[in-house]
Structure 1
Amino acid sequence: MQSQAQEIIPLSTYQKFVIFILAITQFSVILDFMVMSPLGDLLMKSMDLTPKQFGIAVSAYAFSAGISGLLTAGFADKFDRKKLLLFFYTGFVIATFFCGLAHTYPLLVTARIITGLFGGVIGSISMAIITDLFEIKQRGRVLGFVQMGFGASQVLGIPISLYIANKWGWQSPFLMVAGLGALIVTAIILRMQPVTAHLAVQHDRNAVDHLLHTLKRRKYRIGFSATALLAIGGFMMMPFSSAFAINNLHVTEKQLPFLFMVSGICSLIIMPMIGRLSDKIDKFVLFAIASGWSIIMVFIYTNLGVSPFWEVVLLNVLMMMGIMSRIIPSTALVTALPEMQDRGAFMSINASLQQIAGGAAAAVGGMIVVQAHKQSPLEHYNTLGYVMITITAICVFMLYRVKLLTKKKD
């Protein structure tokens, strides 16, 4: 009986298309956000920004994304999920285009706020679609492929973005993402079917009542807390990773794309493997192992001094293996908490708290990290590592509680 419970359920042709379109959508959204990190050193020098100012530019997207998710949570289950995805993704594409037109710091921050208002909801809509269309025993694989957007953004998006940024200015990667987004909008319109099964089990609540109902449920709040904590550590370190690599580890600007590309290739290989593994073994056990590994590697990497490039690449890959391997099992567990009629609201609130927590982490990280002048090493980057280690340990406990709740629901 146990072996039958762990059998791999095959995916239909249409399900494979949905996975592809959600993966490439996530790729563009993640690239739009992730590109701020490798462009960090270039932006800080070209606009003469302090780490604190750059942290604000990063957190502006996250805060607006979080607010947007809370505002849309109440009616996220009231509409066809395809229409919601199309509306917010189209807004994201237009806002990203305006990011590419920004030439001053205030305009950049404003454009990032607008992009966050639309882009911050897309991940939660995608998760709701996945939860509606795929069984729990399929979701590890599905999330493994959809989360490949992170790896693909590093393999393809970030190296290309850095190349064209060095050639045509830091605004050009945003114009590239907007162009790709226009093609994705067309594919969603032409090929994706409506996602409306949740409408048949809706309660007659207004948007505010539905939001409050979702927030009041204790088991949902535990899931929200686990997700928010998971976001804090990564958002603290990530925005300053390129500046740390260049100014502290003495990675050159020409080597930086290769560093991101190697990490991305490893993510592309690892994420599907972790996805399949999470459908076969206990998801919490997998999460706990990945968390322990990431704690060790974060401690080593954030305390590095000037190092050979091969050593930086190796340690960065090993660290990202641990960090990324936590995402799939944790997401699969948390998405198992909500009932069908609450999924849209749950995913929106979950994504909002993730973004708000990440935005706060990026802003606080910018206050902790100090740089005397443009070429000097970052100070206190290892402090961010210690904070992430502490939070990671707490996350293990929180996700154990989520596991108990999902078992009870089953």
Structure 2
Amino acid sequence: MVLNFRIFLLALATFVTGTAENIIVGILPDISSGLGISRGLAGQLTSAFSVTFAVAAPAVLLLTNRFERRLVFLGAMGVFVAASLLAASSPGYAFLFAARIGMALASAAVCVVATMMATELAGPEMRGRAIGVIFMGISGSLVLGVPAGMFVSGHLGWRSVFLLLALLAALVLVLSWVVMSRTGISAGKAPGYRKHLSSWNLVAAQLVSVTMIGGHFTLFAYLAPYLLDIAGFAQGELFLAFLAFGISGVTGGHLGGRLADLFSPGKALVITTVAYLAALAAIPAALEQPVIQVVVLMVWGCISWMISPVVQGFLIAEDPEGSEAGIGLNFSAMHIGVGLGTALGGVAVDWDLLETLPWLGAGLAVLAVGLSVVATRSRIRPVCSMP
């Protein structure tokens, strides 16, 4: 069976918004020097985006459950264009910070609604692969988005990066307006967040996203200075390193979707978290071997992007009726993890503890492994009695 082509357009939308979140990683030194702020403070632009996204993602379904998803999607893309233009013209850190919040609000709506539209277009038998394609769009922002942002910033300045994002988002908006048909409207009732949060295994699965992605961004948000100062990469090698990392990330999004379809949801969840912990712990062990270091980084990047389609596939399989609530909360959980990891890494960077980032991330990944076991063994069991 072949996936509906409109799912790939939805993935393109998540690619653009995913680039907005991760682009700071590649151009962090340029923003730091351009605005006269520390690297740690510049890194908090990613935290601000992620925390805003985490709060906004569940609210998307609460505020739009009576509207056609296509209209919500198109409106969010329009807001994203406006916020990107504000970022490009920001006279200082405060304006850029505000623009990042606007971009995050729009991105939350785009990602949540795009995922729901994709699962609707794909049907139950290809649901995991549809989610995997959406996350290929997000992880694809690392293949072209972050390296391209580094290239554009290096030649035209960091403001041009946000201008380019605005142009890409406008293109997606026009294409979506033309080809995207009407999609489902929610039944008018609030998503089942309360029921979802009352189950041990569903809460544990959500916390897998928080801890595993938190462990990832503890290092990833500061990967550029880590590669330069600790791993010994030359400045000219940084672009290729991010490109290789991004290619592996796109592969991970696809593999995570297939894993969710081919294996039992619980088994896929445990396998992914254990493999991720091993890959992250191997990074400092490979510092003296440049070739092995690149291979390890690529494996790490691949597995790190497998977790989201795997967790979402698990949530949908465990609670089909509450799938909208599960997906909305999972996007929130993911971005809480991004904010947690970026903030933790920023503290370590400002304390000159750059070399400890992989180990800090591995500590969070250990928690993810334990939570994955809790999720698969608890089944749906209430956290507390419901009235």
Give the TM-score normalised by structure 1: 0.83
Q: Determine if contact 1:230/1:395 at 8 Å carries over to the other structure.
A: no
**Structure 1 position 389 matched with structure 2 position 365:** yes
2:184 alignment counterpart:
196
The 3 A distance-change label for structure 1 pair 215 and 76 is farther
**Structure 1 position 99 matched with structure 2 position 99:** no
- Which of these residues, 92, 105, 115, is aligned with residue 117 of structure 1? 105
**Structure 1 position 380 matched with structure 2 position 320:** no
**Structure 1 position 333 matched with structure 2 position 314:** yes
For 1:214 and 1:90, how far apart are their aligned partners in 2? 33
**Structure 1 position 349 matched with structure 2 position 329:** yes
Q: What letter matches 2:309 in structure 1? A: I
* CA displacement, residues 55-90 of structure 1 (integer Å, 9 cap, x when unaligned): 322111112222222433323322111111111121
Q: Which runs of 5+ in 1 are unaligned?
A: 1-9
More deviation, 230-239/44-53:
44-53
For 2:224 and 2:28, how far apart are their aligned partners in 1? 7
1:27 alignment counterpart:
15
Partner SS for 1:194 = coil
Identity across the alignment (%): 19
State the shift of 1:280 in Å.
2.1
For 1:292 and 1:106, how far apart are their aligned partners in 2? 40
State the shift of 1:300 in Å.
2.0
Count, aligned residues: 380
For 2:305 and 2:118, how far apart are their aligned partners in 1? 19
The 3 A distance-change label for structure 1 pair 71 and 143 is closer
For 2:277 and 2:197, how far apart are their aligned partners in 1? 33
- Which of these residues, 341, 344, 355, is aligned with residue 361 of structure 1? 341
1:61 alignment counterpart:
49
Q: What letter matches 2:244 in structure 1? A: V
**Structure 1 position 298 matched with structure 2 position 274:** no
- Which of these residues, 229, 233, 238, is aligned with residue 220 of structure 2? 238
The 3 A distance-change label for structure 1 pair 329 and 352 is closer
Q: What letter matches 1:301 in structure 2? A: I
- Which of these residues, 146, 166, 180, is aligned with residue 158 of structure 1? 146
For 1:59 and 1:313, how far apart are their aligned partners in 2? 26
For 1:153 and 1:319, how far apart are their aligned partners in 2? 16
Q: Determine if contact 2:25/2:43 at 8 Å carries over to the other structure.
A: no
State the shift of 1:167 in Å.
0.6
Q: CA RMSD in A?
A: 2.7
Q: Which runs of 5+ in 2 are unaligned?
A: 382-387
State the shift of 1:253 in Å.
2.3
For 1:115 and 1:252, how far apart are their aligned partners in 2? 32
The 3 A distance-change label for structure 1 pair 50 and 335 is farther
State the shift of 1:396 in Å.
1.9
More helix per residue? 2
State the shift of 1:37 in Å.
1.0
Q: Determine if contact 2:115/2:134 at 8 Å carries over to the other structure.
A: no
- Which of these residues, 186, 207, 213, is aligned with residue 225 of structure 1? 207
Q: Determine if contact 1:140/1:279 at 8 Å carries over to the other structure.
A: yes
State the shift of 1:112 in Å.
0.9
- Which of these residues, 251, 258, 262, is aligned with residue 276 of structure 1? 258
State the shift of 1:186 in Å.
0.7
Q: Determine if contact 2:60/2:108 at 8 Å carries over to the other structure.
A: no
Residues 154-193 of structure 1 aligned to structure 2 (within 5 Å): 154-193=142-181
Q: Determine if contact 2:228/2:235 at 8 Å carries over to the other structure.
A: yes
For 1:344 and 1:386, how far apart are their aligned partners in 2? 31
2:385 alignment counterpart:
none
For 1:313 and 1:147, how far apart are their aligned partners in 2? 23
